[in-house]
Homo-oligomer: A and B are copies of this chain.
Amino acid sequence: MLGVGQIDPAAPAVRADDLGFSRGDGCFEATRVVTSPDGQHRIDHLDEHFDRFDSSCAGLDLPPIDRPAWLELIGQLLAGWTLPGEAMLRMLLSRGREWDLPAGVTGVATLVPTSPETLRQRRDGVHAITLRRGFTADAFAEAHWLLGGVKTLSYAVNMAAIREAERRGADDVIFVSTDGVVLEAPTASVVWATDRTLRTTPVGPTGILPGTTQQLLFDRAAEAGWTTETGTARVDDLHAADTVWLISSVRGPVDVVELDGKGRSRDLPVLAEIARFAGFPPAAQ
């Protein structure tokens, strides 16, 4: 069942036997919605998110998403949304109910204002720590059941890692493989730059998620004359880089101002250029 139209957030929406709830068995997408003062909405890169949603579904042996149904559901959600500024649109899809046959997927869309903390991180940057993810950097090669590159609803470890960062006085995490390769953040891609070359970790055997905003940024940066590369890095490479960003669709690019307790200088013109490529306001102003 794909939504039932707009409901009171306080009202239950998902059945007790939904496999999204009991097993984290499903996938999701999140993107930014910008609402103008006159109530017009702009959804960021919905086609790209729909494409990745389909890719996640394929990884989970689920059928491709029903795009017209999602568009209708999102339209209903936006019709009731007039708050000017940024919001986060989340689209959640689960395998559906376990004990109701014929089973069908469950789809839920939610919309919430972008948090003040997100806006703060965009302005001030983030303090990040590195944490082991437990996998080797090639663990996902020929092991599709490990769901590499699938944006699943099973994010308990991602959330635990962020709590660990907060416990250590930081904001966020950069995951590292057991063999020392920089992977991704719990809810963001990692991008680093030296001179005018942008780099990020390759998808595939690393199991990391292909970043929609990272890809868009690389495309625009390449058009503007930057070199863009994928390649593996070690934490020392991040320390040596001019700039390190965590990049996601709702937060945009936020730069790492402290990594494992070591402060990093900020190159404001570069930050502004990268933010512009990604379609976000400049960092520190």
Roughly how many angstroms separate A28 CA and B60 CA in the complex, as a whole number?
22
| Chain B residues, Cβ within 8 Å of A178 | 136, 139
Is A71 part of the contact surface with B, judged by Cβ < 8 Å?
no
Is A224 part of the contact surface with B, judged by Cβ < 8 Å?
no
- Considering only residues 109-137 of chain A, those with a C-beta below 8 Å from chain B are 110, 112, 131-136
Partner of A157, one of B16, B61, B154: B154
Shortest A172–chain B CB gap in Å is 13
- Could you tell me if B157 and A147 are in contact, using CB atoms closer than 8 angstroms? yes
CB nearest to A179 among chain B residues: B136
Is A140 part of the contact surface with B, judged by Cβ < 8 Å?
yes
Interface size on A, residues (CB 8 A): 60
The oligomer's copy count stands at: 2
| Chain B residues, Cβ within 8 Å of A132 | 139, 143, 146
Partner of A18, one of B14, B23, B158: B14
Is A276 part of the contact surface with B, judged by Cβ < 8 Å?
no
- Considering only residues 9-39 of chain A, those with a C-beta below 8 Å from chain B are 9-26, 28
CB nearest to A135 among chain B residues: B134
- Could you tell me if A159 and B25 are in contact, using CB atoms closer than 8 angstroms? yes
Shortest A166–chain B CB gap in Å is 10
Roughly how many angstroms separate A132 CA and B24 CA in the complex, as a whole number?
20
Rank and list the top 6 A-B pairs by shortest CB-CB distance, nearest first: A24-B24, A154-B154, A134-B139, A154-B156, A12-B12, A13-B16
For this complex, 5 residue pairs linking A to B, each with C-beta atoms less than 8 Å apart, are A12-B13, A22-B28, A135-B135, A144-B160, A146-B157
